[in-house]
Amino acid sequence: MHNVLRVGDVFKALADPTRRIILDELTDRNGQTLFEICSRLTTKHHLGSSRQAISQHLDVLEAAGLVETRREGRYKFHYINTAPLEPIIERWLRNPEKDAE
Amino acid sequence: MHNVLRVGDVFKALADPTRRIILDELTDRNGQTLFEICSRLTTKHHLGSSRQAISQHLDVLEAAGLVETRREGRYKFHYINTAPLEPIIERWLRNPEKDAE
DNA sequence: ACGTTATGCAAGCCGATGCTTGCCTGTCAA
DNA sequence: TTGACAGGCAAGCATCGGCTTGCATAACGT
């Protein structure tokens, strides 16, 4: 289950505006379910994305390590994880130890 | 001539591995021309990208504000600009840990 | 002037990606 | 059990993005 977290996955995950708004929502209220996120996106951000679309976005965020999940009965709660964000910026802010890929 | 810099442009620019290596190269040696960057990518990183491909990558980086250029005769020098990187990460790092622990 | 050098522009190809559609699995309450 | 609820899986489609190809432009050296 330990997928290799690549640096590019983090940036690709952040490249989509809907996924960034999802991270905003999880920052505002952590541990939401898929349906909570969907309803919040439609009401607060006027995004007409379907449930399946949001689910796929959450998969991308989880593959990048930016979102972690915990199952409880028929609910699946989503938590933001900012750990992958910290090292990737300092890559160019100070001296490079160049990553592969 | 003031192009509107969108946040998404920065992430989309960073989503490509070749563009990240270009930023690495500019961090290592600032103010390179297009041909210098091309030769460095082939020799040091073994990337077989053509000149036109690198040129288009530099356009994307410049549109995102991550690279600034200065023309001098028939040369065009490219400089890295890390300013757009700083605000976009703190967007999710200022987390007040509402329900953590 | 001539050729070379450094870069720009635009159309086209093709794989990647976001989204939809449809159906399926699992969980809880009445 | 039955039904509603929360979520998952997979195929198809349309657009986007990276790259190539080919030609054009401008600045230098001789």
Q: Residue A81 sits in which domain range?
A: 7-86
Asked if residue A2 is part of any domain, the answer here is: no
A20 has a chain B CB within 8 A of its CB: yes
Average confidence (pLDDT) over A14-20: 97
Q: Compare all CA atoms of chain B with the CA of A19 and give the residue at the minimum distance.
A: B8
Q: Given an 8 Å threshold on Cβ–Cβ distance, is A98 in contact with B7?
A: no
Asked if residue B59 is part of any domain, the answer here is: yes
Average confidence (pLDDT) over A64-68: 97
**Calpha distance A92→A94 (Å, rounded):** 5
Residue A35 has pLDDT above 90, yes or no: yes
Q: Report pLDDT digits (tens) over B3-60.
A: 688 899 999 999 999 999 999 999 999 999 999 999 999 999 988 889 999 999 999 9
Q: Given an 8 Å threshold on Cβ–Cβ distance, is A17 in contact with B8?
A: yes
Residue B2 has pLDDT above 80, yes or no: no
Q: Of A63, A75, A83, nearest to A2 (Cα)?
A: A63
Asked if residue B42 is part of any domain, the answer here is: yes
Asked if residue A93 is part of any domain, the answer here is: no
Q: What is the CATH number of the domain that holds B56?
A: 1.10.10.10
**Calpha distance B82→B66 (Å, rounded):** 6
Instruction: Render the burial of B84-95: b for 16+ CB within 10 Å, e for the rest.
Output: bbeebeeebeee
CA distance B11 to chain A (A): 5
Asked if residue A1 is part of any domain, the answer here is: no
Q: What is the pLDDT of residue A88?
A: 79
Q: Which residue has the tokens 């036109």?
A: B52
CA of B54 to C1' of D12 (A): 34
Q: Given an 8 Å threshold on Cβ–Cβ distance, is B15 in contact with A17?
A: no
Asked if residue B2 is part of any domain, the answer here is: no
The domain tally of chain A equals 1
Residue B69: Cβ within 10 Å count: 15
Average confidence (pLDDT) over A70-86: 95
A87 has a chain B CB within 8 A of its CB: no
**Calpha distance A82→A63 (Å, rounded):** 13
**Calpha distance A40→A35 (Å, rounded):** 8
Average pLDDT for chain A = 89
Q: Compute the half-sphere exposure of residue B4: CA atoms within 13 Å on the CB side of its CA.
A: 3
Average confidence (pLDDT) over A76-88: 92
Residue A101 has pLDDT above 50, yes or no: no
Q: What is the pLDDT of residue A97?
A: 46
- Residue B86: list chain A partners with CB under 8 A: 89, 93
Instruction: Show which of residues 51-80 on chain B sit within 8 Å of chain A, judged by CB atoms.
Output: 80
* Number of residues that make up chain A: 101
Q: Which of A78, A91, A101 to mutate to test the interface with B (most CBs of B within 10 A)?
A: A91
- Residue B100: list chain A partners with CB under 8 A: 30
Asked if residue B96 is part of any domain, the answer here is: no
